[in-house]
A and B are shown apart, each in its own frame.
Chain A
Amino acid sequence: MTAASLAAARSFVATPVRPIGSVEGQRAFAFRQAGKRFGDKTVLDGIDLDVPAGQFLAVIGKSGCGKSTLLRLLAGLDRPTSGSLTFGVEEEGHSRTRFMFQEPRLLPWASVVKNVEVGLTGVASGAEARQRALDILGEVGLADRADEWPSVLSGGQKQRVALARALVGHPQILALDEPLGALDALTRIEMQQLLERIWIAQKFTAVLVTHDVAEAVALADRVVVISEGRIALDLDVPVERPRRRGSVELARLEGKILDRLFG
Chain B
Amino acid sequence: MSFATRLHSNAIGWLLPALVIAGWEIASRAGVMPANVLPAPSAVAEAFWRLTLSGELVRNIGVSTARALAGFAIGGSIGFALGLANGLSTISRGLTDTTLQMIRNIPHLALIPLVILWFGIDEEAKLFLVALGVFFPIYVNTLLGIQSVDPHLVEMGRVYGMDRRALFFRVILPGALPAIFVGLRYALGIMWLTLIVAETISASSGLGYMAMQAREFLLIDVVVLSILIYALLGKLADSLARLLERLSLGWHPAFQNG
On A, residues with C-beta under 8 Å from B are: 75, 77, 95, 98-99, 101, 103, 105, 107-110, 118-119, 121-122, 149, 151-152, 165
Q: Are A108 and B252 in contact (CB under 8 A)?
A: yes
Q: Are A121 and B162 in contact (CB under 8 A)?
A: yes
On B, residues with C-beta under 8 Å from A are: 152-153, 155-162, 166, 170-171, 174-175, 177, 249-253, 256
Q: Are A75 and B251 in contact (CB under 8 A)?
A: no
Do A75 and B171 contact each other (CB < 8 Å), given the known contacts A103-B152, A108-B251, A109-B251? no
Q: Are B252 and A121 in contact (CB under 8 A)?
A: no
Q: What are the 6 tightest A-B residue pairs by CB atom distance, in nearest-first order?
A: A109-B174, A105-B156, A109-B251, A99-B159, A121-B161, A122-B161
A-B contact count (CB 8 A): 49
Alpha-carbon distance A109/B157, docked complex (angstroms): 14
Which residues from B are CB-within-8-Å of A149? 250-251, 256
Which residues from A are CB-within-8-Å of B177? 109
**Which of A107, A110, A151 has the most C-beta atoms of chain B within 10 angstroms of its own C-beta?**
A107
Which residues from B are CB-within-8-Å of A101? 152, 156
Which residues from A are CB-within-8-Å of B157? 118
Do A110 and B256 contact each other (CB < 8 Å), given the known contacts A118-B160, A119-B160? no
Alpha-carbon distance A116/B202, docked complex (angstroms): 58
Q: Are A107 and B160 in contact (CB under 8 A)?
A: no
What are 6 A-to-B residue pairs whose CB atoms are below 8 Å? Answer: A95-B161, A101-B152, A108-B252, A109-B174, A110-B170, A149-B251
CB within 8 A of A77: which of B159, B161, B166, B253? B159
Which residues from A are CB-within-8-Å of B171? 107
Q: Are A110 and B251 in contact (CB under 8 A)?
A: yes
Complex: chain A residue closest to B175, CB-CB: A109
Least CB distance, B3 to chain A, in whole angstroms: 22
Q: A149-B251, A151-B253 are in contact. List 12 more A-B contacts (CB 8 A).
A: A75-B159, A77-B159, A105-B156, A109-B175, A109-B249, A109-B251, A110-B170, A119-B160, A121-B162, A121-B166, A149-B250, A151-B256
Which residues from A are CB-within-8-Å of B256? 149, 151-152
Classify the interface of chain B: helix, strand, loop or mixed: helix
Classify the interface of chain A: helix, strand, loop or mixed: loop
Alpha-carbon distance A98/B159, docked complex (angstroms): 7
**Which of B156, B158, B250 has the most C-beta atoms of chain A within 10 angstroms of its own C-beta?**
B156
Least CB distance, A130 to chain B, in whole angstroms: 15
Alpha-carbon distance A188/B251, docked complex (angstroms): 27
Q: Are A105 and B161 in contact (CB under 8 A)?
A: no
Least CB distance, A115 to chain B, in whole angstroms: 10
Which residues from A are CB-within-8-Å of B251? 108-110, 149, 151
Alpha-carbon distance A121/B170, docked complex (angstroms): 11
Q: Are A107 and B170 in contact (CB under 8 A)?
A: yes
Which residues from B are CB-within-8-Å of A110? 170, 174, 251
Which residues from A are CB-within-8-Å of B155? 77, 105
Alpha-carbon distance A151/B250, docked complex (angstroms): 11
Least CB distance, B254 to chain A, in whole angstroms: 10
Q: Are B152 and A105 in contact (CB under 8 A)?
A: yes
Which residues from A are CB-within-8-Å of B158? 77
Complex: chain A residue closest to B153, CB-CB: A105
Complex: chain A residue closest to B253, CB-CB: A151
Alpha-carbon distance A75/B162, docked complex (angstroms): 15
Least CB distance, B207 to chain A, in whole angstroms: 39
Alpha-carbon distance A110/B166, docked complex (angstroms): 14
Alpha-carbon distance A119/B160, docked complex (angstroms): 6
Which residues from B are CB-within-8-Å of A119? 160
Least CB distance, A17 to chain B, in whole angstroms: 33
**Which of B152, B159, B161, B252 has the most C-beta atoms of chain A within 10 angstroms of its own C-beta?**
B159
Alpha-carbon distance A81/B175, docked complex (angstroms): 34
Which residues from A are CB-within-8-Å of B174? 107, 109-110
Alpha-carbon distance A149/B250, docked complex (angstroms): 9
Alpha-carbon distance A98/B161, docked complex (angstroms): 10
Least CB distance, A53 to chain B, in whole angstroms: 21
Alpha-carbon distance A121/B160, docked complex (angstroms): 7
Which residues from A are CB-within-8-Å of B159? 75, 77, 98-99
Q: Are A107 and B253 in contact (CB under 8 A)?
A: no
Alpha-carbon distance A108/B171, docked complex (angstroms): 10
Least CB distance, A154 to chain B, in whole angstroms: 15
Complex: chain B residue closest to A152, CB-CB: B256
Alpha-carbon distance A151/B174, docked complex (angstroms): 15
Least CB distance, A132 to chain B, in whole angstroms: 14
Complex: chain A residue closest to B171, CB-CB: A107
Which residues from B are CB-within-8-Å of A105? 152-153, 155-156
Alpha-carbon distance A149/B153, docked complex (angstroms): 16
Q: Are A107 and B153 in contact (CB under 8 A)?
A: yes
Alpha-carbon distance A108/B150, docked complex (angstroms): 11
Least CB distance, A72 to chain B, in whole angstroms: 10
